[in-house]
Amino acid sequence: MAAGLLTASCGGGGGNGGGGTTPPPTPVPVTPPPPPPATKLNAVAVTKKMRFGSAIGGRRNPPISTLGDASYRSLVAQQCGLIVPENELKWQTISPDARTIDFSAADDMLAFATENGLAMRGHNLIWHQDRWLPSWLATYDFGPDVAAGTRQLIIDHVTGVVGHYGSKIASWDVINEAVDPGTGLLYQTRLSRNLGSPEAVIDLAFTTARAVAPAGTQLVYNDYAGWEAGNDAHRAGVLRLLTGMKARGVPIDAYGVQSHLGIYSIDPATGTGRYEEGPWRAFLDAIVALGLDLIITELDVRDDALPADVTVRDTAIAKYVRAYLDLMFGYKQLRDVLVWGMVDPYSWLQSIPRSDGLARRPNPYDGAYQPKPMQTAIGDAFTATSARS
Total residues at interface with ligand XIL (CB under 6 A): 6
**Nearest approach, Cβ of 68 to ligand XIL (angstroms)?**
14
Among the listed residues 45, 81, 86, 250, the single contact to ligand XIL using CB under 6 A: 86
Q: How far apart are the first and last CA of the chain?
A: 40
Among the listed residues 54, 95, 176, 315, the single contact to ligand XIL using CB under 6 A: 176
Rg (CA), the chain: 25
**Nearest approach, Cβ of 353 to ligand XIL (angstroms)?**
15
231 interacts with ligand XIL by CB under 6 A: no
Size of the chain, expressed as the number of residues it contains: 389
Distance separating alpha carbons of residues 122 and 89, to the nearest angstrom = 7
Q: Is 369 helix (H, G, I), strand (E, B) or coil?
A: coil
Residue nearest to ligand XIL (CB): 348
DSSP 265: S
Phi-psi region of 249 (alpha: psi -120 to 50; beta: other; left: phi over 0): left
- CB atoms under 10 Å from CB of 237, counted, come to 22
Q: Which residues contact 163 (CB under 8 A, 6 or more apart)?
A: 212
Pick out residues in 22-81 that bind ligand XIL (CB under 6 A): none
**Closer to ligand XIL by Cβ: residue 176 or 194:** 176
**Nearest approach, Cβ of 351 to ligand XIL (angstroms)?**
8
User: Among 101, 99, 124, 127, which residue's Cα sits nearest to residue 190?
Assistant: 127
**Closer to ligand XIL by Cβ: residue 86 or 228:** 86
Amino acid at 187: Y
**Nearest approach, Cβ of 247 to ligand XIL (angstroms)?**
25
Q: What is the 3-state secondary structure (H, E, C) of 52-90?
A: EEEEECCECCCCECHHHCHHHHHHHHHHCCEEEECCCCC
**Nearest approach, Cβ of 35 to ligand XIL (angstroms)?**
32
Pick out residues in 273-312 that bind ligand XIL (CB under 6 A): 298
**Closer to ligand XIL by Cβ: residue 57 or 379:** 57
**Closer to ligand XIL by Cβ: residue 194 or 231:** 231
- What is the enclosing helix (H) or strand (E) of 123? strand 122-127
**Nearest approach, Cβ of 230 to ligand XIL (angstroms)?**
17
**Closer to ligand XIL by Cβ: residue 99 or 131:** 131
Amino acid at 142: F
Using an 8 Å Cβ cutoff, are 68 and 59 in contact? yes
**Nearest approach, Cβ of 223 to ligand XIL (angstroms)?**
8
**Nearest approach, Cβ of 173 to ligand XIL (angstroms)?**
7
348 interacts with ligand XIL by CB under 6 A: yes
Contact string (CB under 6 A) for ligand XIL, positions 87-106, x = contact: x-------------------
Alpha carbon separation from 265 to 10, 228, 268, 312 (Å, rounded): 61, 10, 9, 15
**Closer to ligand XIL by Cβ: residue 44 or 76:** 76
Chain residues in the site for ligand XIL (CB under 6 A): 86-87, 176, 258, 298, 348
